[in-house]
Structure 1
């Protein structure tokens, strides 16, 4: 934060120069706000050093989320072999369970934060994440089943901290440059977290891989304690304060939560479990069918029955479903790319986890520059065209990965694939949130980022299930490195197909927008 910014900051509450905290003193319709309507922007009452600590701590939600993905991708082969899982397909669950859990529970966690306080949920989420990171390391004394369960429960930590962090930042600053910069730093920590995960995973694997998770548990526990101190208390609205427990549960949309979670878990479990045991097992089909049935029930509850739906399908229009499709296809591509591209160069080519961290390191400058470019152009260029750019980047980056000769020079296929895929990541997410915001009524604006983040994380896990099935089927009967290479190539071509689907959907959306215009929004 600049010196100019600090001069503009309002003095802290204890200062004799200020008798009140910064508040929102005018309602949206221009009428003076009542006392109950006033919103206190608590971060603006803090000194500049305290604000820096506050923002840095809240941004750790995104950093640790990506850390939990990166620290396993680089050493998944080492972990898998310690449990007797030798192929990439068998090791998919070691990674997929984490993203599945985040994608499944993030909306529920956001609603819990609305009801019980986002600071409280942030602290609980970090502590929960720490506990299951500890258990993930201890799984070395048990079996891969415990490790997978630990990874699934780990994911519930970021599912709590991510929406809570966004809500904390959104409510702690008034609209303006400081708020924009806070959100920019939040997104900008993602590539740093991923590379930190690759690096520390590789370092600790040189000693003993469980220390990857034990060290993570120590850091997360410290973050939980630090967050409880440095994050200001977030004021609850009077209506939330006065709600009874029964009203809170009604607002939580319990039937929708239960059926939605059941649908997402069963459907995803079927695809990823089929990679391990094959589609011949009856319980895989049963889980898939039950997942679809629960999904239909969930849709009916949310669209026609729930008074406070966790996902307001009744308010969605055709624009939303285009965005859902583009986002899901793009991030499923990313999930396959990051896992199987790493397997290609580590399992087939033989590079070390630490060298993999160095090979992936261009995501930092590429991610930051892409985010900055999108931030500068998203108001000047239609978000739909930015989505097309992102989907095209996914196509090109995934083709480079799928066609890379095993022993090619790093500065050709791998380097450019990393650079280009980052453009897809940092273009598609902001474009999706902007289009979602434009396509839904004002009262549903708050769930936009959470819905998109749900699709992002769930699609990563589901994409790995699709790719793992292709790997298993293609390499049947082929042994050794040649068979492994066939399977990995097949999985990477699945990512190309998904990226192509996303590009087609984004182009159809642009064409629809050009000829028919945006779908109308009912202002409710």
Structure 2
């Protein structure tokens, strides 16, 4: 029989019903209102095909072009982690140029990385929604342009001081905040659930450790052989190249329009009120924790900003429950998604602590150069790639909860090896082993979380799914450094006992990783009880 035009059955009702289907956009009789359940299966298949065609972005038809397409999108993760590394690897060289002591000013040095992770994790909250509403490609390209501009200014900050540099680092972070969720949303709309999607998301995660090593090596080389601002100016050039590549390689990504959207203003669709309160709450709360190690908790504005952050966050939750297009639709998040995000939060907050304090340990106590330390960290790129590829292969065979448990165990075991590291020990004993194990936590938890949330949400909300994962990852790194800095400040005897401060910070990371294991076990039990 011929296939009737779907508009004849009531396009508005069918479109609304189809939007409520699962993330794989499949259509069955039970997904439709009762008045449509008698329709012929052929008609339903046709409507499902039309829905997928409207929401999907075609990836290149040939393998070489597809490889370039995926590589350009993965560059978002690569450059984000490189941007983190270019402040960690030469942090003491940068601090010396601003007359900051590597020992007494350790808390000030942590702002070089914490300010960047703060805005990456915070502004992702709204970046994915803007991409969903206005189109993902434009924000991907604009993210690289913004990233490059503030990398240029961050290098120029050498002529000013640490305050301007910290501000530039925070502004830099807004670029990756727009890159990450929109890159993942494009991948989520391009690939249907299956092995190909799993491998692509895993490759995206695999670029994280490689990007960190790349940024660490080049910033160390430029800082030791030339001048540290050249690392930021080189970052500017690379970002502009990727912006041009994104413009040329990525196909158009039109925003998805639904009938209920036509009745709402643009401010309502992007949830402006939720965006302002959500971003403000995250920034203020994080500022309190990362500034406390610098000025101390007794300073009034420290605990006042903490209280203000909590109050504003409560206001954000109330707003989200009463707006038509919430930034975080709490009702959409199922228990699996919540537990996965909780695991990622605990694991990645510990990872930021392990990396920053290991770097300080090797340079201050083992008296290593930034370049040698970068070379020792290069093992994480290889281990991370193996972890990501393994994750892509096993996700279709093993439940996401089991993958999360393995990832959290890797964080805990790798972190414990570093926390018990003696001064002067050979690299091959604990540092090497710990750096092999830790990336398995990163590159198993990230793709698993991305795939889980991508499949839990419709094509319409792929930017939101990517935003939630990346917000949790990057914000957790920053807030974890705040927790660790507070512990270090209170146990290092005013900077006289460096090793005690480092161990206190590391044990904080071990505790967070242990919390991740507990949450992952809860995740596993929850899935088994529902079988």
Query: Does 2:350 correspond to 1:333?
Result: yes
Does the Cα contact within 8 Å between 1:390 and 1:423 map onto a contact in 2?
A: yes
Task: Report the Cα distance in structure 2 between the residues aligned to 1:315 and 1:171, rounded to whole angstroms.
Answer: 18
In angstroms, what is the RMSD of aligned CA positions? 2.5
Alignment of 1:8-27 (within 5 A): none
Query: Does 2:209 correspond to 1:195?
Result: no
Q: SS of the counterpart of 2:302?
A: helix
Which of 50, 57, 61 is 2:72 aligned to? Answer: 57
How far off its partner does 1:458 sit?
0.3
How far off its partner does 1:44 sit?
4.3
Q: Assess, with a 3 A threshold, how the Cα gap between structure 1 residues 116 and 476 changes in structure 2: closer, same or farther.
A: same
Specify every segment of 5 or more residues in structure 2 that has no aligned partner in the other structure, as ranges.
1-24, 29-43
Alignment of 1:325-474 (within 5 A): 325-436=342-453, 447-474=464-491
Task: Report the Cα distance in structure 2 between the residues aligned to 1:440 and 1:236, rounded to whole angstroms.
Answer: 16
Aligned to 1:20: none
Residue-by-residue CA offset, 1:285-341 (whole Å, 9 max, x unaligned): 110000000111111111x20111111123335444433332211111001011001
Does the Cα contact within 8 Å between 2:185 and 2:462 map onto a contact in 1?
A: no
Q: Name the structure, 1 or 2, with higher relative contact order (CA <8 Å, separation 6+).
A: 2
Alignment of 1:30-41 (within 5 A): 30-33=44-47, 38-39=53-54
Q: Assess, with a 3 A threshold, how the Cα gap between structure 1 residues 241 and 435 changes in structure 2: closer, same or farther.
A: closer
Q: SS of the counterpart of 1:411?
A: coil
Specify every segment of 5 or more residues in structure 1 that has no aligned partner in the other structure, as ranges.
1-25, 519-524
Aligned to 1:114: 132
Aligned to 2:281: 263
Does the Cα contact within 8 Å between 2:145 and 2:240 map onto a contact in 1?
A: yes
Does the Cα contact within 8 Å between 1:36 and 1:238 map onto a contact in 2?
A: no
Query: Does 2:228 correspond to 1:228?
Result: no
Task: Report the Cα distance in structure 2 between the residues aligned to 1:408 and 1:266, rounded to whole angstroms.
Answer: 40
Aligned to 1:136: 154
Aligned to 1:9: none
Alignment of 1:315-326 (within 5 A): 315-326=332-343
Aligned to 1:19: none
Aligned to 1:71: 86
Task: Report the Cα distance in structure 1 between the residues aligned to 2:70 and 2:507, rounded to whole angstroms.
Answer: 40
Q: SS of the counterpart of 2:123?
A: helix
How far off its partner does 1:31 sit?
3.3
Query: Does 2:528 correspond to 1:495?
Result: no
Aligned to 1:11: none
Does the Cα contact within 8 Å between 1:315 and 1:441 map onto a contact in 2?
A: no
Aligned to 1:89: 107
Tell me which moved more, 38-47 or 451-460.
38-47
Residue-by-residue CA offset, 1:35-56 (whole Å, 9 max, x unaligned): 7873386644555544333322
How far off its partner does 1:487 sit?
1.3
Task: Report the Cα distance in structure 2 between the residues aligned to 1:192 and 1:160, rounded to whole angstroms.
Answer: 20
Q: Assess, with a 3 A threshold, how the Cα gap between structure 1 residues 442 and 186 changes in structure 2: closer, same or farther.
A: closer
Tell me which moved more, 234-243 or 114-123.
234-243
Aligned to 2:182: 164
Q: Assess, with a 3 A threshold, how the Cα gap between structure 1 residues 98 and 410 changes in structure 2: closer, same or farther.
A: same
Task: Report the Cα distance in structure 1 between the residues aligned to 2:469 and 2:346, rounded to whole angstroms.
Answer: 12
Aligned to 1:283: 301
How far off its partner does 1:369 sit?
1.3
How far off its partner does 1:181 sit?
4.3
Does the Cα contact within 8 Å between 1:71 and 1:196 map onto a contact in 2?
A: no
Residue-by-residue CA offset, 1:383-432 (whole Å, 9 max, x unaligned): 21221211111111111111111111111110011011111112222333
Task: Report the Cα distance in structure 2 between the residues aligned to 1:435 and 1:235, rounded to whole angstroms.
Answer: 24
